[in-house]
């Protein structure tokens, strides 16, 4: 075939080149799907499921079209960062987003006027919602007094425990009002079961080197590691006291803690097996635990408030959370606010949340009789009423850009403290913790000052 065309790189390369050109042409010819009037990004599947019927009703009533997108939480965080960093607008940019509480801080790095979310207080006030929402729940979504997010939840924290096993040991754990009493009760509990040869029975789930529950205890005492003005409280004497006490609970002769491998499944298994007999429990964990624990835990669990360190402490704190926010760049802010309000506070939305023990942040909604019923799964305890009493007292939790790094410092101090407990016991531990925390706080302040765009940070 003298006339045949030749391609000196070979047929495979030619085919690949042709395929690439064809794909490129097809992509370029593809029409961008029309943007709906409002775009909502959520990261929780349960939220997405609950919102769809509300959105259907909203679309019918307003004539606006809404695109609800369920995204991976990390991917959403990165996408939002890219959108904010490049000041993108238009097709792929959402109007309303949900952000997980621990990821909020990074969006608060710019000065207040540059934060990419819309300040919501005027809308909250004009709609009458501002007064109805638990005030301390605005804290995580606030920078220097400006509210950038609406809370989806309250997530009060108590301690859920195996009442049957504690009762068998002759201990009324619910009567422990202070952390010291709690520790004593747990030590007696463990001694009882060790005496019967049950070696792996730990009174409570607490981590030896992870600070999640330590942060909860600090929050009870009104201490946030970093507040919404980027002020560092790592060297507050209450932190040293709490770290020292906590270290004594997770290490040494008065250890009362065991650890699960994380997640509700493994925790439920440990609770069913009686390896871990009490654990810190926010409201959202109850439904998950019911599902994972099944009939094996029916009637055996009770919820109690968190013990306190001092009388002035709150009997609860908060763990986890979600904020709904509107992007400053949204061309339809009022409509976005209307939608957000329906998603969070409509009757339909509030009703959907009653079955899973997750309290809405609207205080009036707690008067619903459904929250007053006893729950057979928890031995008839009126568990939602307990949660409501706790929710009324939750202390503020702040999430600042440096909160994550402050957690790393606290974790390092806790590790030093647990090592000291194992080697020398608890004597002199509080003052040693204070020294370590002072060093860490100095370092953290220097770093916040270096990274901050605000005046007087740290």
Partner 1 sequence: MQSRYAPYFFVAPFAILFCLFFAYPLGRSIMLSLYKAATPRMMQFVGLDNYRMLLKDRAFAAAVANTTYFALAFTLLQVPLSLGLALALNSRRLRFRQFFRFAFFSSNLVGNVFVAVIFSLLLAPRHGLINRAIGAVLPRVGTEVPWLSNPWLVMPAILMAALWLSVGFGMIYLLAALQGVDHELYEAAEVDGAGRWKKFQHVTLPSIAPVLRYLMLVGLIGAFQLFELPYVLFGQTTGPGGRAITVVMYLFTWGFEMGDIGYASAVGWALVMIIFLVTLMQFRTLYRAREAT
Q: State the residues that interact with partner 1 by CB under 8 A.
A: 77-78, 81, 84-87, 103, 105-107, 109-111, 114, 199-200, 207-210, 258-262, 266, 269-270, 273, 275, 401-402, 404-405, 408-409, 411-412, 414-416, 440, 443, 446-447, 450-451, 453
In the complex with partner 1, which residue's Cβ is closer, 235 or 384? 235
In the complex with partner 1, which residue's Cβ is closer, 103 or 302? 103
Nearest distance in Å: CB 259, partner 1? 5
Nearest distance in Å: CB 309, partner 1? 23
d(CA 70, CA 76): 9
In the complex with partner 1, which residue's Cβ is closer, 412 or 430? 412
Helices within 73-128 (DSSP H only): 73-85, 121-126
Strand (E) or helix (H) holding 332: none
In the complex with partner 1, which residue's Cβ is closer, 362 or 451? 451
In the complex with partner 1, which residue's Cβ is closer, 222 or 404? 404
How many CB atoms neighbour CB 198 within 10 A?
A: 13
Query: 278 pairs with which residues across the strands?
Result: 161
Nearest distance in Å: CB 407, partner 1? 8
| Residue of 253, 266, 239 whose CA lies nearest to 413 | 239
Nearest distance in Å: CB 56, partner 1? 35
In the complex with partner 1, which residue's Cβ is closer, 208 or 232? 208
In the complex with partner 1, which residue's Cβ is closer, 31 or 113? 113
Nearest distance in Å: CB 74, partner 1? 8
34: left (phi over 0), alpha (psi -120 to 50) or beta: beta
Nearest distance in Å: CB 450, partner 1? 5
Query: 326 pairs with which residues across the strands?
Result: 96
Strand (E) or helix (H) holding 398: none
C-alpha 198: how far from its chain's center? Answer: 34
Helices within 294-428 (DSSP H only): 333-345, 347-354, 383-391, 403-424
Buried b (16+ CB within 10 A) or exposed e, 250-284: bbbebbbbbbbeeebeebbbbbbebbbbbbbbbbb
Strand (E) or helix (H) holding 170: none
- Token duo for residue 398: 């702040």
In the complex with partner 1, which residue's Cβ is closer, 373 or 419? 419
Nearest distance in Å: CB 29, partner 1? 23
Nearest distance in Å: CB 62, partner 1? 33
Nearest distance in Å: CB 73, partner 1? 10
In the complex with partner 1, which residue's Cβ is closer, 71 or 388? 71
SS3 state at 208: coil
Nearest distance in Å: CB 81, partner 1? 6
In the complex with partner 1, which residue's Cβ is closer, 49 or 419? 419
CB of 390 within 8 A of CB of 307?
no
Nearest distance in Å: CB 49, partner 1? 25
In the complex with partner 1, which residue's Cβ is closer, 27 or 85? 85
Nearest distance in Å: CB 404, partner 1? 5
How many CB atoms neighbour CB 296 within 10 A?
A: 12
d(CA 220, CA 312): 9
- Token duo for residue 357: 């023990």
CB of 204 within 8 A of CB of 278?
yes
In the complex with partner 1, which residue's Cβ is closer, 350 or 413? 413
- Token duo for residue 147: 């509210």
CB of 86 within 8 A of CB of 93?
no
Environment class of 2 (CB within 10 Å of its CB; exposed 0-12, middle 13-18, buried 19+): exposed
Distances (CA, A) of 220 to 124, 275, 304, 329, 425: 27, 27, 15, 37, 26
d(CA 108, CA 110): 6
């Amino acid at each position: 075939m003298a006339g045949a065309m030749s391609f000196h790189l070979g047929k495979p390369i030619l085919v690949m080149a042709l395929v690439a050109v064809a794909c490129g042409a097809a992509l370029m010819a593809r029409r961008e799907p029309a943007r709906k009037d409002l775009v909502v990004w959520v990261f929780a599947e349960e939220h997405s499921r609950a919102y769809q019927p509300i959105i259907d009703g909203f679309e019918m009533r307003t004539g606006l079209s809404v695109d609800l997108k369920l995204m991976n939480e990390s991917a959403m965080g990165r996408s939002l960062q890219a959108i904010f960093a490049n000041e993108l607008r238009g097709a792929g940019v959402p109007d309303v987003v949900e952000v997980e509480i621990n990821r909020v801080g990074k969006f608060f790095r710019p000065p207040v006027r540059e934060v990419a979310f819309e300040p919501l207080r005027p809308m909250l006030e004009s709609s009458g919602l501002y007064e109805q929402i638990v005030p301390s729940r605005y804290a995580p979504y606030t920078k220097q007094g400006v509210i950038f997010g609406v809370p989806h939840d309250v997530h009060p924290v108590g301690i859920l425990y195996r009442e049957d096993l504690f009762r068998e040991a002759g201990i009324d754990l619910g009567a422990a009002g202070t952390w010291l009493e709690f520790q004593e009760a747990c030590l007696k509990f463990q001694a009882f079961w060790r005496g019967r040869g049950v070696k792996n029975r730990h009174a409570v789930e607490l981590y030896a080197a992870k600070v999640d529950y330590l942060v909860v205890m600090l929050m009870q005492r009104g201490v946030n590691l970093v507040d919404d003005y980027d002020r560092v409280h790592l060297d507050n004497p209450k932190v040293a006291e709490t770290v020292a006490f906590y270290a004594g609970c997770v290490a040494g002769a008065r250890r009362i803690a065991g650890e699960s491998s994380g997640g509700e499944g493994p925790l439920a298994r440990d609770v069913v097996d009686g390896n871990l007999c009490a654990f810190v429990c926010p409201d959202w964990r109850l439904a998950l635990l019911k599902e994972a624990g099944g009939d094996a835990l029916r009637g055996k669990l009770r919820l109690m408030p968190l013990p306190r360190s001092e009388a002035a402490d709150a009997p609860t704190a908060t763990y986890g959370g979600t904020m709904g926010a509107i992007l400053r760049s949204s061309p339809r802010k009022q409509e976005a606010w209307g939608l957000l309000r329906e998603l969070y506070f409509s009757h339909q939305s509030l009703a959907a949340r009653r079955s899973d023990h997750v309290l809405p942040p609207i205080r009036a909604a707690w008067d619903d009789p459904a929250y007053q019923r006893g729950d057979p799964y928890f031995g008839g305890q009126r568990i939602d009423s307990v949660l409501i009493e706790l929710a009324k007292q939750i202390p503020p939790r702040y999430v600042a850009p440096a909160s994550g790094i402050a957690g790393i410092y606290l974790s390092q101090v806790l590790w030093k403290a647990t090592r000291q407990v194992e080697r020398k016991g608890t004597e002199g531990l509080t003052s040693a913790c204070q020294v370590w925390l002072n060093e860490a706080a100095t370092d953290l302040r220097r770093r916040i000052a270096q990274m901050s765009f605000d005046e007087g940070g740290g």
